[in-house]
Chain A
Amino acid sequence: MSMLQVSVYRYNPETDSAPYMQEFQVDTQGRDVMVLNVLAMIKEQDSSMAYRRSCREGVCGSDGMNMNGKNGLACITPLSEVVKGGKLTLRPLPGLPVIRDLVVDMALFYKQYERIQPYLQNDNPEPAIERLQSPEDRDKLDGLYECILCACCSTSCPSFWWNPDKFVGPAGLLQSYRFLADSRDEATSERLAELEDPFSVFRCRGIMNCVAVCPKGLNPTRAIGKIREMLLANAT
């Protein structure tokens, strides 16, 4: 028997006045399974355990959570990567209101995403075929469009913790730059005008927590730097 000790954040608004940590013993049979598998085993012990999951391969972004202190996706995080001293502690993503157990209310996160107008804007008449784009221009979108909106980055960012209503956050800014960088988008100056206030972009202090946790290996800090450069170029 190779028992893993798992400590999980529990909170059910209907029955609990305050959240608490619950201990589980999980038999992994010595296999290096993913954290999501461990959660499924816990749910078999206690069906009231709540967490989100969907694709179980790291592309849908459902199961972002805090594992032994670091945000990541449970489905692509093997135990060998996070477990220290035979113990695993699971908490919801920090900084967002908890609905139940590991499920957080992501409304603020989505609101910031919607605020940057995350869609291509181009009022020119559409050609009969596709709009042409050179491979070099298309390359500029690599490292940007792959975001899965898991919120691991934004919820590891202190600036987003303090001002989730005003600071767009790394995920939203990465998407903002994805459209600013798209050769087919024509709303550059409108997009920039929406960002030049002291909070939306400039609350980023460049501590790169977002880069450290991004499960897709993306770099929001670099994108934010590029937005600043564009704002500067636009205003001087």
Chain B
Amino acid sequence: MGDASTNFTRRTFLKGSALIVAFSLFPKQARSELNAMGLPQILNKNLPGSLKSTPWLDAWIKIERDGKVTVCSGKVELGTGVRTALLQIAAEQLELKPSSIFFIAGDTGLTPNEGFTAGSHTIPDSGTALFYAAAQVRALLLEGAAAKLNASVSSLAIRDGRITSQDGRSIDYGTAITGIDLHRQANSSSQLKPPDSYRLIGHPVHRLDIPNKLTGGASYVHDLRPPKMVHARVIRPPVQGARLTSVDIAAAERLPGVLKVIRDGSYLAAVASDEWSAITAMRALTISARWDGGGNLPNPQTIHATLQALPAEDIVILNEGNMKTPQARSFKARYTKQYLMHGSIGPSCALALLEGGQMTVWTHTQGVFPLRHALAELLDMPDEQVRCIHTEGSGCYGQNGADDVAADAVLIARAMPGRPVRVQLMRDQENQWEPFAPAMITEIEAGLDNTGRISHWHYELWSGSHNERPGNAGKLVPGWLLSNPLIPSPSLPMLQPEGGGDRNALPLYAIPNARITNHFLPRTPLRTSAMRSLGAHINIFSIESTMDELSAMAATDPVEFRLRHLTDTRALDVVHAAAREFGWEHREKKRNRGTGFAFGQYKNLMAYVAIALELEVQPDTGKVNILRVVAAVDCGQIVNPDGVKNQIEGGILQSASWTLYEQLQFSTDGIKSIDWSSYPIMRFSQVPAKVEVHLLDRPGLPFLGVAEAAQGPMAGALANALAQATGKRLRNLPLAGPQLRS
């Protein structure tokens, strides 16, 4: 951000100083609104899930006179299947088929504001809101029908959009609800169906979006083709902070199909009547553009030392017992993680249309409301004149280029009024400019008492920001490049209980003397933000690696050692289940093979996951073959069992790729992971031979988020299995490579 921060203009100065004043005057609550989950104010803290901030029933469920039922959610489909799961929940309580409900998700013009779809919050927040809202609407439907059929509520049957009396008279939902206003606040109590009567919740339901995706249906923002649409491509600087000094715009505008080249400071984009012409113009502009300055990244070889030397905000998140009590044996280790990339298969894309003073944006953002606020600030328009409509994209796994490209779309659409503008990033642009998952360091000093129990736990971690999401326009790359550049608002730590870098830094194990510190680094050299599980990946990797090393010091089986330190019965249950299903007790040690175990409850608040696995390392090449992975999961009341399994399997494979293979390549003069050969991810020859997921259902208990729950435990189980297979304890991620040869 060298360019943006050193090139103050009146506009940015005023905006910047206004922000600084705001930060110093407002209490912490107000500060966090600019930089947390993007959630609106809580209006009724006694209500469940997102009803807390959007308590009106008709914000979630609308019933037309003709009986058509519309369900709204502020959480969006990112490829995890939540659309189907949310519909299962609403349809269960409303006694409808999921396919008969009209579902709207993530539209600033139509749906509740539920902030970002992130952190495995969708089912606990939006699913819970719909669960209770729909139950209350069902009760109102029955009340309305009772009056109209002149029958008692208890005598009525409700099913598939009709309510029937004992004598066979029936009315549809539209008639039943007539005269009842759903614009009312939810009650704090609901009449709920008993879990054993569920027909949809807890039953595997095929995802509604998959057939279309498999048959060439229009499924993504990339597939939108409104009339009069034009295509655009952007030209990003070669390195962060570089300024555009000259470019041959006239030559590019003479190319066939090119409608316009837009330049504003260092911001450069080409608009054409067709996509290939836009790409051709982008290439011509890339060749003629001359840039000055920028770059200056740290040496990647010493990145972790560089990070640890940066100014930090030290947050002690746990300080219990007395660290000076004597310990029988002690253990000390340091773990590191490299910068990772989200690596969406489809580079980010957005459409925008400026018409009649209204900007409409079709975007695969994770947060339509916070993004709208940022885009409005970028365009100097009131929020009300910008509408963001979520349309699916390629899986994002956190903040990828989705928000940036939405900013590109509106900047270009402003110059092309009346024309829908479609912009997609190129692969190298997505890779070089996305906010990476932060590189991190953890350090542990642990001690055992003379009975072989953990007596001490001194843990520290260093991490840059895991949340640079919009809300503030300065968080978006295009704003940095304008002649009046925007600067990002200061980075703030995400606090416990969910945490950011310190997510899952608090072990669930019972330890009498513990001190845990999060060294939050407000300014780090590379742009970073949220990627699935945030700090939980390295924290659980560190904790679970340490648990194995301590269990060896205590001469105790690793599973037994974990059980000894767990008190939560649900945690004990998943550990037992994974060990049993894997056959942990009967495992054999074979040459070049290793078994590993790990456990974690995501954020210590969401799904419980225990993983046991076996792998083999080829001694001459170091190649890792994962032979079998067994996971046990408790996510409370299961909504869609097959959906949960799909998410856990995906988390296991994705984490295997991060943990074994991934590392952002960069040098002092820029990001070098520009494609899939410079940022390899797991391919078919590397995926496990077998993955089994065992679900522990908890009927009637609250929904616990699941999509990011396997990443940490998988990393720990891999580290532990590799240590056994090779005899080498690896503490620096990624783990695969020449160091595994023997």
Q: Does chain A bind chain B? A: no
Chain B residues in contact with chain A, CB under 8 A?
Answer: none
Chain A residues in contact with chain B, CB under 8 A?
Answer: none
